Amino acid sequence: MSGPAVALAVVMVAGLPALGGAAPPPGELRRFPPADREMAWIPPGGFVMGCVAADGECFDDESPARPVTLARGFWLDVTEVTVASYRAFCRATGRAAPPPPPFAQGDGHPVVNVTWDDAAAFCTWTGGRLPSEAEWEYAARGGRAGATYPWGDLAGHEHANYQGREGRDAWSNTAPVGSFAANGFGIHDVAGNVWEWTADWYASEARADSAAAAGAGPPDGTLKVLRGGSFAYPPRSLRLSNRGKFPPGQRHESFGFRCARDGEGDDAAPVPAAAVAPGGAAAGATEPTRPVAPPPTAPTATLAGQPRTFMPAGAAMVWVAPTTFEMGAVRGDGSGFGDEQPRHPVTLAHGFWIGVSEVTVGQYRRFAEATGNAMPRVPNWADDAHPVVEVSWEQASAYCRWAGGRLPTEAEWECAARGGVTGLKYPTGAALGHDDANFDGTGGRDRWEKSSPAGSFAPNGLGLVDVAGNASEWVADWYGERYYAASPAADPTGPTEGTARVVRGGNWASDPGRLRVSYRHNVDPGDTQVTLGFRCARDGPP
DSSP string over 361-427: HHHHHHHHHHH-PPPPPPPTT--TTSBP-S--HHHHHHHHHHTT-BPPPHHHHHHHHHTT-TT-SBT
Residue 10: pLDDT over 70: no
pLDDT > 60? residue 264: no
- Is residue 269's pLDDT more than 50? no
* Residue 335: per-residue pLDDT: 86
Q: What pLDDT score does 302 carry?
A: 35
**What pLDDT shows up at residue 212?**
60
Domains of the chain: 1-265 (3.90.1580.10), 297-542 (3.90.1580.10)
In whole angstroms, what is the distance from residue 271 CA to residue 493 CA? 39
Q: Which of 350, 366, 364, 359 shows the shortest CA–CA distance to 387?
A: 359
Task: Assess whether pLDDT exceeds 50 at residue 285.
Answer: no
User: In the chain, what percentage of residues exceed pLDDT 90?
Assistant: 65
Higher pLDDT, 470 or 305: 470
Give the 3-state secondary structure of residue 211: helix
Assign 443 to helix, strand or coil.
strand
The C-alpha atoms of residue 390 and residue 361 are separated, in whole angstroms, by: 11
Question: Which among 145, 138, 124, 109 is positioned nearest to 230, based on CA atoms?
Answer: 109
Sheet arrangement for strand 255-256: 244-246, 224-227, 195-201, 255-256
Question: In a 3-state reduction of DSSP, which class is residue 429?
Answer: strand
Do 190 and 140 contact (CB within 8 A), yes or no?
yes
Q: Is 119 helix (H, G, I), strand (E, B) or coil?
A: helix
The pLDDT assigned to 89 comes to: 96
**Cα–Cα dist 44/163, whole Å:** 34
In this structure, of 48-62, 226-240, 387-401, the range with the lowest mean pLDDT score is 48-62
Q: What Å distances lie between residue 512 and 469, 504, 516, CA to CA?
A: 9, 13, 7
Q: What is the mean pLDDT of residues 233-251?
A: 93
Residues 44 and 408: their CA atoms lie apart, in Å, by 31
In the predicted structure, residue 266 carries a pLDDT above the cut 80: no
Task: Tell me the C-alpha distance between 377 and 268, whole Å.
Answer: 48
Cβ pair 331, 519 in contact under 8 A: no
Beta strands in 185-289 (DSSP E): 195-201, 224-227, 244-246, 255-256, 260-262
Q: Which residue has the higher pLDDT, 512 or 284?
A: 512
Give CA–CA dist 421/512, Å, rounded: 20
For the whole model, what pTM was predicted?
0.50
CA 288 to mean position of chain CA atoms: 16
- Residues 55 and 239 sit within 8 Å (Cβ to Cβ): yes
How confident is the prediction for the chain on average, in pLDDT?
85
pLDDT at 270: 31
Of the candidates 357, 373, 449, 397, the residue with the CA atom closest to the CA atom of residue 152: 357
Residue 110 β-bridge partners: 82
| pLDDT score recorded for residue 2 | 35
- Quick one: what percent of the chain has pLDDT higher than 70? 85
Does residue 476 surpass a pLDDT of 90?
yes
Region 300-309 average pLDDT:
54
Is 542 a residue whose pLDDT tops 90?
no
Please give the Cα distance from 425 to 335 (Å, whole number): 10
Q: Is 104 helix (H, G, I), strand (E, B) or coil?
A: coil
Report pLDDT for 93.
Answer: 95
**What does the pLDDT read at residue 281?**
30
In angstroms, rounded to a whole number, what is the distance separating the alpha carbons of residues 22 and 73? 12
Asked whether residue 298 carries a pLDDT value surpassing 70, the answer given is no
Which residues 6+ apart lie within 8 Å of 135 measured at CB? 42, 70, 74, 76, 198, 215, 260
| Dist. CA 165–CA 100, nearest whole Å | 22
One-letter amino acid of 187: I
Q: How confident is the model at residue 213 (pLDDT cuts 50, 70, 90)?
A: low
- Tell which residue, 473, 468, 452, 467, has the closest CA to residue 523: 473
Residues 6+ apart with CB under 8 A from 519: 337, 340, 504, 505, 506, 513
Higher pLDDT, 401 or 293: 401
In this prediction, residue 292 has a pLDDT band, given cuts at 50, 70 and 90, of very low
Is the pLDDT at 119 greater than 80? The verdict is yes
Q: Please state, as a whole number, how many other Cβ atoms lie within 10 Å of the Cβ of residue 411.
A: 23
Q: What are phi and psi of 539, to 5 degrees?
A: -70, 160
Instruction: Please provide the distance, in angstroms rounded to a whole number, between the alpha carbons at the two ends of the chain.
Output: 46
Task: Note the pLDDT of residue 307.
Answer: 72
**Higher confidence at residue 204 or residue 343?**
343
Residue 372 above 50 pLDDT?
Answer: yes
Question: What is the per-residue pLDDT for 113?
Answer: 95
The predicted structure's pLDDT at residue 343: 93
Q: Residue 498: pLDDT above 80?
A: yes
Q: What is the mean pLDDT of residues 265-282?
A: 31
User: Which pLDDT belongs to residue 279?
Assistant: 30
Q: What is the pLDDT of residue 402?
A: 96
Span 87-96, average pLDDT: 95
Which pLDDT score is estimated for 220?
Answer: 86
Mean pLDDT is lowest, of 4-8, 91-95, 150-154, 422-426, for: 4-8
Contact 163, 233 (CB under 8 A): yes
Selection from 147, 131, 542 nearest residue 354 by Cα:
542
Quick one: pLDDT at residue 27? 64
